[in-house]
Amino acid sequence: MNFWQKPVETLHELLRKKSPHLRQVRHFPSRALGREVDFDVYLPPEYHLSPGKHYPLLLINDGQDLQTMHFSNILEEGYYNGNFTPCIAVGIYANADRMREYGTTRQPDYKGRGDLAPNFSRFVLEEFLPMLERRFRVSPEAGHRAYAGFSLGGLSAFDIAWAHPHLFGHVGVFSGALWWRWSDVDPADPDADRILHDIVCKSAVWPAGQRYWFQCGTLDETDDRNNNGVIDSIDDTLDLIRDLRHKGCPDADIRYLELEGGEHNVPTWAKAMPDFLQWFLGSRR
């Protein structure tokens, strides 16, 4: 629309827009990881007009996938339709060491993958979060913070958030790599030795108030190690939900989204993203 031809209509259209402000930060130095980290920050549309306001914080592993899924457009549509309140969303990029840095801090898997997960956790907790708190107006309350991730990034997000509920009150796991295990599959007990399930089961209590959102696609994979007719990604997710319930987490604090025909890829996670954002930032906020 040409402003000089229709100034009133053009101004009205500009005011209606709810696009987040994207800041692309490159080469953030990390001592914990011994490398530089890239990340993107999606600031609320009115961020610069509300200097005294603090916003909910959303951290997302595998942040390099957010632009592929047109995350800015997802936020803009949700803001415009009033589906959820504005937040500060931060996508942390993974690099070639993704299989080493993502995982569980307690131990690597049976192939030695995830050996740098403790380093990644220190990066997030001791370097990255303090920097975000200094540079941006993020809410200090755990109830206004979420950590999410895709696949192995979802496993990492859950592991870090579970261990630090005073920092993160919400967790989002998209097609989580919850099969992560300390030994190869034993045909006699194919569901044994899953690390994250063991961490939850051996924890004293559920971190009261922490909430969980899980997504799986029916075509995430084809493996069915226990031959029960359910693919492993769905089995592993439902088993973790069962373990959370056994620890005392109420159903009201767990959401499970299963997408028929959903695959283990960015387009599927893009379809699920509005549901997650509304769950975290919607009317309950």
Number of domains, the chain = 1
pTM of the full predicted structure?
Answer: 0.93
Residue 20's Cα: distance from chain center in Å?
18
Tell me what pLDDT residue 205 has. Answer: 85
pLDDT at site 11: 42
Does 193 fall in a domain?
yes
49 lies in some domain: yes
Q: Decide if 42 contacts 72 (C-beta within 8 A).
A: yes
Q: Is 121 within a domain?
A: yes
Burial of 148-157, coded b for 16+ CB within 10 Å and e otherwise, reads: bbbbbbbbbb
What is the largest distance, in Å, between two alpha-carbon atoms of the chain? 75
b/e burial code for range 224-263 (CB count within 10 A of at least 16 → b)? eeeeeeebbbbbbbbebbebbeeeebeeebebebebeebe
Beta-sheet strands, E only, within 125-234? 145-150, 170-174, 211-219
| Number of neighbouring beta carbons within 10 Å of residue 21 | 13
> How many angstroms separate the CA atoms of 94 and 183, rounded?
26
Q: pLDDT value at position 204?
A: 86
Of 142, 129, 145, residue with least CA distance to 92? 129
What DSSP string describes 79-108? HHHTSS---EEEEEPP-TTHHHHSS-SS--
Please indicate, yes or no, if residue 71 is contained in any of the structural domains.
yes
Phi first, then psi: give them for residue 200, nearest 5 degrees: -65, -45
| Pairing of β 35-43 and β 145-150 | unpaired
Is residue 221 in a domain? yes
For residue 156, the enclosing domain spans 19-281
* pLDDT beneath 70: ranges in the chain: 1-17, 283-285
Token pair for 101: 């840095």
pLDDT for residue 15:
46
Q: Is residue 10 part of a domain?
A: no
What is the predicted pLDDT for the residue at 16? 53
Give the Cα separation of 208 and 165 in Å (integer): 8
CATH label of the domain that carries residue 186: 3.40.50.1820
What local confidence, expressed as pLDDT, does residue 4 receive?
55
Examine residue 9 and state whether it is found in any structural domain, yes or no.
no
* Contact criterion met (CB below 8 Å) for 214 and 241: yes
In a domain, 7, yes or no: no
Taking a C-beta distance cutoff of 8 angstroms, is the pair 140, 165 a contact? no
Predicted local confidence at residue 285, as pLDDT: 41
What per-residue confidence (pLDDT) applies to 208? 83
State the burial class of residue 62 (Cβ atoms within 10 Å of its Cβ: 0-12, 13-18, 19+). Answer: buried
State residue 12's pLDDT score: 46
